[in-house]
Structure 1
Amino acid sequence: MNLELLAEICKTPGAPGFEQKVREIVIKEITPLVDEVQVDNMGNVYAIKKGKADKRVMIGAHMDEIGFIVTHIDKNGFIRFHTLGGFDPKTLTAQRVIIHGKKDIIGVMSSKPIHVMTADERNKVAKISDYFIDTGLSKEEVEASIKIGDPITREREFIEMGNCVNSKSLDNRLAVFILIESLRALKDKEVPYDVYGVFTVQEEVGVRGANVSALKIKPDFGFGLDTTIAYDVPGAADHEKITSLGDGTAIKIMDAMTICDYRMVAFMKQTADKHKIKWQPEILTAGGTDTAGIQRMTDGGSIAGAISIPTRHLHQVIEMANKDDIQGSIDLLSACLTDLQDYDWAF
């Protein structure tokens, strides 16, 4: 497994709407692997591999990570921000961030110290609005490099822990990596239908890139590719786990935005079993992925499903995934793309 590439993708900043640096890596990696590369007006990247028959299959893997945007710089140089994507406020405490202005500036998330809180304040859950960013610079120094509207991402190294990887932004740089490696695995193989591997933008703020991409491609078949919750931790009941690390790649049945096509779910299970790929079912009752746009944003819809990568501690800077589950996701996506024509898709 090319962990050097995965680490590079994870550490590269790409808040929603500001994915350009991730896009550069993607284009460099996929250009030798496919027949054609396109970029649309929103910044979605299309890796196109021609197939034998006149049908289209779309895979969506979003490039963006949750982040922030600068909204105010006060008289002392402290920065206020708005979130881009979903955050649990308590995960901001004591974190470093990077403000991407004329040059990158390191800052720290801070809030009122516990030493000067009232008893009532100590017992309240922190709100996003309680936090500010301290760069250690004066207002004049901050404004020399940073302006309102500049994106902010979180700072954390990529490391290995046992048979796992741990980093910020595994959601959804894992999927970016898996789609690249699947295209690499298929480079010298024939596929039955035209494959559109789409590296999408702005998923974390409403599946915006996938919607646009599906309108352009008009896919007959579709696969979302994203992380999912692995709640296999102390205190979790068996029925709450959703997925578990090391139990295989996950085949999505539904989430809050998509009920996957029952034919696609059956096909994916059959394909996994045929190729001896370890898998587990996934039902996520909250949240959604690019699968929703792929399924719905075309005339008549597409036959869509999703491959999900079990991940602990989602939307934190310590996201964790199992290497075997990552490899299984590459193997399952590659197998599905080569075996699509072998399944009876009739109702």
Structure 2
Amino acid sequence: MPTASQLGPFEFLKQLTETPGVSGREERIRDLVLSASKDLWDETRIDSMGNLICFKRATRAAGPAGRRGGKRDGLATDRAPRVMFACHMDEIGFYVRYIDDDGFLRLQNVGGFDTRNLFARRVVVHGRQDLLGLLNPAGKPVHIASDEEKKKIPEIHEFCVDLMRPAAEVRKLVEIGDPVSLYQTTESIGEAITGKSLDNRISLWVGINAIRRAHGLDYLQVDGSPAAAAKRGKRPAGPTGSRYDIYFVACVQEEVGLRGAGTAAFGVEPDIGIAIDTTLACDTPGIGKDQAITQFGKGVGIKVMDSAVISHRGLYDEFVALAQKHKIPFQREVLPRGGTDAGAVQRTRAGTRAITISVPTRYIHTVTESIHRRDALAAVDLVAAWLSA
């Protein structure tokens, strides 16, 4: 298995992905983000929804009125323009909805699953203590199932969790409503990082590190180990610091309807909203090239549109120009289905200029989600360059 030194700057990402935090129960991942990055911020707070809102004051004078946020709805402002980074921290998972007489758990999903990917999985039930369990559909094993039974794809409500304990003990440790997360370690395979909940813990990693790099700081190393210089990329040349008042928001409940980002944006009232999220990299067998969306290892995605947002054209052009100027590998992204927190931020109050910066990801919403190191590093470089411009 890879050591911290092999993961280099991605060691923090391993911690982020292996920390549980299903939609609505993000407290553990929120605590990790806050404790690891607290020295970066001027102020932090947790709002009523559970969003972690981290504020970093502008460190350079703003440009001419109206430049990327100096105007709001055509009116000049007397403050630094506000940019909100929406980086959702929740992961898809489950809640316990029923405990049967034999101690087996039935589940309610939070977020979208393809049940073909749920067979024979390990899960963690977060009850009075964390309990490792086995997730399988109810029914016969393959040895005695009929041909028709083998063809059937079970629905979520047919899956159950076996805790390998007597029912009486299960009832002492687990209650209806306890969250359940998928269990998977995060590993390095070739030039890729693979594991669960890269959607969307990669956004936390990209956002924090981009803000650090824009202010002349190296990648966050939570264990004190040095980053591998050959793997971490270079911050684009130019001034350090930013003209923006930065609001980095670790959002809750994106996977169930972009809920946290909407309320956070209403409170922050940003001039610009930037969601950082994963996007599909469907450059795998069985999918036509015209449906790939993005390609693995070919650079950061700059989103044109998805089903929740059409990116602000001025912002899109800025990011493309910066990527070309600094020779940062990038891909133009059109996603026909699915959306990000940019959709909620864009529609807050009287409207906000918004865009999504994407990390191409294979096998999204499985425990083998995979990102290429080059794409993640390109995302950091692009966001850092934009903040420093």
TM-score, with length taken from structure 1: 0.95
1:87 partner letter: F
Say whether the 8 Å CA contact 1:62–1:202 is kept in structure 2: yes
The answer to whether structure 1 residue 100 and structure 2 residue 150 are counterparts is no
Say whether the 8 Å CA contact 2:281–2:294 is kept in structure 1: yes
2:14 maps to 7
Q: CA–CA distance in 1 between the matches of 2:255 and 2:19?
A: 16
The answer to whether structure 1 residue 129 and structure 2 residue 179 are counterparts is no
CA RMSD in angstroms comes to 1.2
Q: CA–CA distance in 2 between the matches of 1:257 and 1:140?
A: 46
Say whether the 8 Å CA contact 2:214–2:385 is kept in structure 1: no
Q: CA–CA distance in 1 between the matches of 2:328 and 2:365?
A: 27
Say whether the 8 Å CA contact 2:275–2:342 is kept in structure 1: yes
Say whether the 8 Å CA contact 2:241–2:387 is kept in structure 1: no
Shift, 1:211, TM fit: 0.4
Q: CA–CA distance in 2 between the matches of 1:118 and 1:78?
A: 24
Q: CA–CA distance in 2 between the matches of 1:109 and 1:116?
A: 20
Q: CA–CA distance in 1 between the matches of 2:125 and 2:211?
A: 33
2:127 partner letter: G
Q: CA–CA distance in 2 between the matches of 1:19 and 1:119?
A: 42
Give the 3-state SS of the residue equivalent to 1:265 in structure 2. Answer: helix
Deviations 1:252-293 (A, max 9, x none): 111111111111111110111112211001111111111111
Say whether the 8 Å CA contact 1:6–1:177 is kept in structure 2: yes
The answer to whether structure 1 residue 208 and structure 2 residue 256 are counterparts is no
Q: CA–CA distance in 1 between the matches of 2:309 and 2:29?
A: 27
Give the 3-state SS of the residue equivalent to 2:338 in structure 1. Answer: coil
Q: CA–CA distance in 1 between the matches of 2:170 and 2:12?
A: 33
Shift, 1:117, TM fit: 2.9
Give the 3-state SS of the residue equivalent to 2:360 in structure 1. Answer: strand
2:373 maps to 323
Give the 3-state SS of the residue equivalent to 1:105 in structure 2. Answer: strand
Give the 3-state SS of the residue equivalent to 2:310 in structure 1. Answer: coil
Deviations 1:13-47 (A, max 9, x none): 00001111111111112211121112111111112
The answer to whether structure 1 residue 260 and structure 2 residue 260 are counterparts is no
Give the 3-state SS of the residue equivalent to 2:124 in structure 1. Answer: strand
Give the 3-state SS of the residue equivalent to 2:143 in structure 1. Answer: helix
Deviations 1:73-126 (A, max 9, x none): 100000001001000011110100000011000111112223343332222222
Say whether the 8 Å CA contact 1:33–1:187 is kept in structure 2: no
Q: CA–CA distance in 1 between the matches of 2:157 and 2:146?
A: 18
The answer to whether structure 1 residue 115 and structure 2 residue 114 are counterparts is no
**Alignment match of 1:156 (pick from 169, 184, 191):** 184
Shift, 1:294, TM fit: 1.3
Say whether the 8 Å CA contact 1:99–1:150 is kept in structure 2: yes
1:1-347 matches, cutoff 5 A: 1-51=8-58, 52-53=61-62, 54=79, 55-111=81-137, 112=139, 113-188=141-216, 189-299=240-350, 301-339=351-389
Q: CA–CA distance in 2 between the matches of 1:3 and 1:331?
A: 15
Q: CA–CA distance in 1 between the matches of 2:299 and 2:340?
A: 19
Q: CA–CA distance in 2 between the matches of 1:23 and 1:163?
A: 28
Shift, 1:237, TM fit: 1.4
1:312 partner letter: R
1:106 partner letter: L
Question: Please, which moves more after superposition, 150-159 or 121-130?
Answer: 121-130
TM-score, with length taken from structure 2: 0.85
1:43 partner letter: G
Q: CA–CA distance in 2 between the matches of 1:222 and 1:270?
A: 18
Deviations 1:313-338 (A, max 9, x none): 00000011100100111111111122
- What 5-or-longer segments of structure 1 have no aligned partner? 340-347
Q: CA–CA distance in 2 between the matches of 1:101 and 1:123?
A: 34
Say whether the 8 Å CA contact 1:219–1:298 is kept in structure 2: no
Shift, 1:246, TM fit: 0.7
Shift, 1:235, TM fit: 2.0
Question: Identity rate of aligned residues, in percent?
Answer: 38
Say whether the 8 Å CA contact 2:107–2:156 is kept in structure 1: no
Question: Please, which moves more after superposition, 22-31 or 179-188?
Answer: 179-188
Shift, 1:186, TM fit: 2.9
